[in-house]
Structure 1
């Protein structure tokens, strides 16, 4: 294998996806990535190209986060963060709407900025927790008012291409079944082929994950992509060798070569289950960011990379590869927290090993 060459990539698989957009100044990558994932699923299932509303999911998830925070008396995290299954939970209960029906942008704003929104929500919740008996109004109604002021009131009915829908009937129109999607991870502190609640800060809703060996996680991902199914990805992006500017994510064997590894091919670390676990337990791997895997590439040495759709915009000096990250298998193996995928690509043996099917 030849090293110290500039990257040259050849497309292996390129699944249909909607355009790269920006989540703006928000921590809602979980909704942007999962919405992109669902948009690709709709195209795969029905051929329809629909720009889904990311903020509709956010609007319905904040009250549930707030309830969790209040009932735990502030002894948990309340933030903008979330996970892919929060979008699945939202659409199961509240359905889907197109983005032009609910953009979450008010007062002619063109970009999302939730700094004031989060500050106002936190103020209400913390005041109520500090002295619930002296709180003069209904905190739940106050949360709804803040969300309405910043994102817009909820949608109960709308017209799409000349047909009237409710959000739930529109979900039915897309042929998306929320029960078809499963979150999968790989850690050795719980038995393989069992489900467990992954204890990470953004898992406020106590979502369950199927635990599989690392090689199986990679196999499931590659098999899904090769069969036309894209993948939702939760991973750590805090490494110096994750670069939006260069559009590259790698794990060089020599950490001193991290800057050079973004531009030229370097030998990567061999990633084991034990190293992955160690990095998770010492907090070097955290649930920083969610994105959408839409394909496979290979470099000039035949090494596979994942084509990962990000939500930090494109056509900027700080964003390479048109808003996509080309992620090596080594990076994926070490820094992935979890994936979410349709159940169909999972092989028969995996179905038989588990109790969730």
Structure 2
């Protein structure tokens, strides 16, 4: 029976083990106040590779998706393998631009994506080691994609404007020229441990099967136990997710981690409850009051102290 590895779909991606958070505030109000902090206790950990720095690039979807595959390789073989995130990102930029042209600019063209793009792009283009393709060909030691994003968007807008009244035969070569300039030229073959590989043959040697990975989610605007296309701009490939009740989604996460499998979790990190500088997120236990604007506007007005009071102890 083929094993399926879980990628949980929403917006932006994080990879983690299961943890429980508790607020160390004393139950006795007469005692001295405790430091304002949360304490996390690991209940279950699974093998995972080191955290990589996406720096100033909108590619969290790729770093988290690659982390899931690296963790699975570590679990299966005990070997730490560093896969190239920018190999995936570079190909994704190209394919997004092609779709942007075919849809006359009526689709998303930016750095965003979803973690399932990683196995999808690998199924088309294979994978290479990070040491073979760093994707840093523009003068900085870390990933900084602001200029790249602007250049690709401007170039493609000029292409689809069709000033020649028809697309030329040069625009795809021009797009590749931009991508090669920023990421570097893509190798057709490379060597690992003295053996020559292509991107596809190395993926096969690692025994990575992109079809092994599935997306699960829990939304109430679609029927449960059916697949649907996740309606977010970053889902540029229109990939489908399988919808299940929230309680069952939690069961899948728990059972996967208990069995030693990493899980890729994706969430909307634009909400006020995410505190990146403190390393945690809060899920309020009360309903948001109806106020002018959106729910997000309501939560973003809350102070840190109000958020703490609304969090589960």
TM-score (norm 1): 0.70
CA 107–199 in structure 1, closer or farther in 2 if over 3 Å, else same: closer
Q: 2:90 aligns with which of 59, 72, 88?
A: 59
CA 108–72 in structure 1, closer or farther in 2 if over 3 Å, else same: closer
Q: 1:220 aligns with which of 252, 266, 269?
A: 252
CA 118–2 in structure 1, closer or farther in 2 if over 3 Å, else same: closer
- SS of the aligned residue for 1:232 comes to strand
Distance in 2 (alpha carbons) for counterparts of 1:38 and 1:65: 23
CA shift at 1:102, angstroms? 0.3
Q: CA RMSD in A?
A: 2.2
Check if 1:49 corresponds to 2:80. Answer: yes
CA 220–261 in structure 1, closer or farther in 2 if over 3 Å, else same: farther
Check if 1:4 corresponds to 2:34. Answer: no
CA shift at 1:138, angstroms? 2.0
Check if 1:76 corresponds to 2:107. Answer: yes
Distance in 2 (alpha carbons) for counterparts of 1:161 and 1:180: 26
CA shift at 1:153, angstroms? 0.9
CA shift at 1:253, angstroms? 3.4
Distance in 1 (alpha carbons) for counterparts of 2:302 and 2:160: 49
Q: After superposition, what is the alpha-carbon deviation per residue over 1:216-255, rounded to whole angstroms, capped at 9, x for unaligned?
A: 1111111111111111122111122211111010123366
Match of 1:171 in 2: 203
**How many residue pairs are counted as aligned between the two chains?**
268
Distance in 2 (alpha carbons) for counterparts of 1:192 and 1:149: 46
CA shift at 1:188, angstroms? 2.0
CA shift at 1:41, angstroms? 0.9
Distance in 1 (alpha carbons) for counterparts of 2:207 and 2:303: 44
Match of 1:203 in 2: 235
Match of 1:91 in 2: 122
- SS of the aligned residue for 2:58 comes to coil
Check if 1:153 corresponds to 2:185. Answer: yes
CA 193–258 in structure 1, closer or farther in 2 if over 3 Å, else same: farther
Query: Aligned runs of 1:90-109 on 2, under 5 Å?
Result: 90-106=121-137, 109=140
Query: Aligned runs of 1:110-189 on 2, under 5 Å?
Result: 110-131=141-162, 133-134=164-165, 138-189=170-221
CA 206–48 in structure 1, closer or farther in 2 if over 3 Å, else same: same
Match of 1:247 in 2: 279
Distance in 2 (alpha carbons) for counterparts of 1:49 and 1:230: 15
Which segments of 5 or more consecutive residues in structure 1 lack a partner in the other structure?
270-300, 302-357
TM-score (norm 2): 0.80
Q: Is contact 1:243-1:249 (8 Å) kept?
A: yes
Match of 2:289 in 1: none
Match of 1:276 in 2: none
Where does structure 1 differ by over 4 angstroms across 4 or more consecutive aligned residues? 134-137, 254-258
Q: After superposition, what is the alpha-carbon deviation per residue over 1:185-228, rounded to whole angstroms, capped at 9, x for unaligned?
A: 11122221111111111111010100111111111111111111
Query: Aligned runs of 1:297-336 on 2, under 5 Å?
Result: none
Q: Is contact 2:228-2:243 (8 Å) kept?
A: yes
Distance in 2 (alpha carbons) for counterparts of 1:100 and 1:237: 30
Which segments of 5 or more consecutive residues in structure 2 lack a partner in the other structure?
1-21, 27-36, 287-298
Distance in 2 (alpha carbons) for counterparts of 1:267 and 1:124: 47
CA 17–133 in structure 1, closer or farther in 2 if over 3 Å, else same: same
